[in-house]
Amino acid sequence: MKGRIKLLQCGLVMGFVAQPRLVLACAACYGQDSGPMAQGMNWGILSLLVIIVSVLASVAGFFIYLANRSATLPAPNQGEQQLAGTEAFNS
């Protein structure tokens, strides 16, 4: 059984070697930087970049929102802080 699998693997490798057009590199590596495959790759890179930047901007915007919201809250008085701290021990 293992001999047949090895034979099949060798046959596939020899098939790829016999037809080198199937295993050529991408358009950027192969040298066609203006072809349709290169344009598609550039659009894919651009779309991924837009998604990553929008997610990072959303996270940054959320933290800016939290900072602004915490800055608008009134600071508690010193007496209220002490009272709030001692309630936990009294109960």
Q: What pLDDT is recorded for position 1?
A: 76
Q: What is the mean pLDDT of residues 9-35?
A: 70
| 65 or 3: which leads in pLDDT | 65
Give 78 or 9, the one with higher predicted confidence. Answer: 9
Residue 90: inside a domain: no
Does residue 34 sit within a domain?
yes
Inside any domain, residue 81: no
38: in domain? yes
- Per the structure, the complete domain to which residue 32 belongs is given by 2-75
Claim: this prediction has a pTM higher than 0.85: no
**For 39-90, what is each residue's pLDDT tens digit?**
888 899 999 999 999 999 999 999 999 999 988 877 666 655 555 555 555 5
Gyration radius from the chain CA atoms: 31
Question: Is 31 among the domain residues?
Answer: yes
Judge whether 80 lies within some domain: no
Overall domain count for the chain? 1
Distance of CA 11 to the CA centre of its chain: 38
Which are the contacts of 27, defined by CB distance < 8 A and separation ≥ 6?
A: 33, 35, 37, 38, 41
Please say if the pLDDT value at position 23 is more than 60: no
Does the residue 88 lie in any domain? no
85: in domain: no
